[in-house]
Amino acid sequence: MYELHGLVLQLYSVTEELKPVGRLAKEEGIKLMNANGWDEMASWWDEKQGDEGDLWHRALIDPPLMRLVGEVRGLHILDLACGNGYLSRRFARQGARVTAVDTNVPLIELVSKREEQAPLGISYYVSDAAHLNMLEDDTIDLAICNMALMDIENAEGAMQEVSRVLKTRGRFVASIAHPCFDKVNSSGWDIEYIYPTTTVWRKMSRYREIAVGDLPWRKVPDKVVITPSYHRPLSWYFRILRAAGMVVAAFEEPEPTEELLLANEIQAPWIAEIPVHCVIEAWKVGRD
């Protein structure tokens, strides 16, 4: 579960000073929630994602992710950090058997009620991503993790668990904030207007640093919610996947679709030049 960092605070970094989160909340008269804020956003997030994903997922991140996923009929799919389950429901309607996991109790309660009202055969669990005790070894054909690994403290443990539950030659497809270009409190857009041309720059500092930052969500009604965001270099993900017995088979950097470009999203033309998300496909081949 994730919203583009730059959209929240760094969109106008070329002209506006980045305000500390606390001062921002005080000036705007909004309530500041702590770093356990995912539970606070459950209803808002569910409504925001709906049954097809919000604009950023639907028109930017999901198209390359779904291309890598491919045909799912007859597969046993793990939807790791499933959020409001919109992908779980899509896969189930396409004929997959789906196990969906998230640590967010309110969200899992919401999606479980939806499953009771309109059964699709999805099994929902509240669980840490690094402890998938509900699944046996070598039972999953395809694992999905859509925009969540950078929100998971023990992402290494999560990828090890994914490898454990995947069948040999099973696949793991994950989208993340692009580590090369998007880091909370350390990246932002710089738009240079020198007539008659405009140059788009994406500034980034401390790329190699493994760090956690406070990500403020300003669009939640009447409050700013803070969640932790964990930055790791791109090479870190490749090393951890290899150590877990998986090899990277494909790598995509999502480009804006026509829908996003027509939605008057100010960042869309910039993202057409510099990607701020990436999608990784890895295959389980066994540990060294």
List the CATH number of the domain containing 159: 3.40.50.150
Question: How many other C-beta atoms lie within 10 A of the C-beta of residue 56?
Answer: 24
* Reported confidence tier of residue 265, pLDDT bands at 50, 70, 90: confident
Question: How many other C-beta atoms lie within 10 A of the C-beta of residue 197?
Answer: 7
Residue 177 resides in a domain: yes
Does 228 sit behind a cis peptide bond, omega within 30 degrees of 0 on the bond before it? Answer: no
- Domain count along the chain: 1
Least confident of 44-48, 60-64, 215-219, 284-288: 284-288
Residue 121 resides in a domain: yes
User: Which domain, by its residues, includes 80?
Assistant: 38-182+232-284
Residue 156 resides in a domain: yes
Residue 114 resides in a domain: yes
**187 vs 276: CA distance, rounded Å:** 10
Residue 57 resides in a domain: yes
Residue 17's Cβ-count burial label (10 Å; 0-12, 13-18, 19+) is exposed
Residue 33 resides in a domain: no
* Alpha-carbon separation of residue 201 from 81, 181, 280 (angstroms): 32, 10, 24
- Pair 124, 100: CB distance under 8 Å: yes
* Alpha-carbon separation of residue 249 from 38, 147, 165, 275 (angstroms): 32, 19, 19, 20
Query: What is the structure's pLDDT at 288?
Result: 54
Using the predicted structure, report yes or no on whether residue 19 has a pLDDT greater than 70: no
Query: What is the structure's pLDDT at 52?
Result: 96
Q: What is the pLDDT of residues 41-91, one digit of tens each?
A: 999 999 999 999 999 999 999 999 999 999 999 999 999 999 999 999 999
Q: What is the pLDDT of residues 22-37, one digit of tens each?
A: 343 344 443 433 436 8
Residue 58 resides in a domain: yes
**74 vs 56: CA distance, rounded Å:** 29
Residue 187 resides in a domain: no
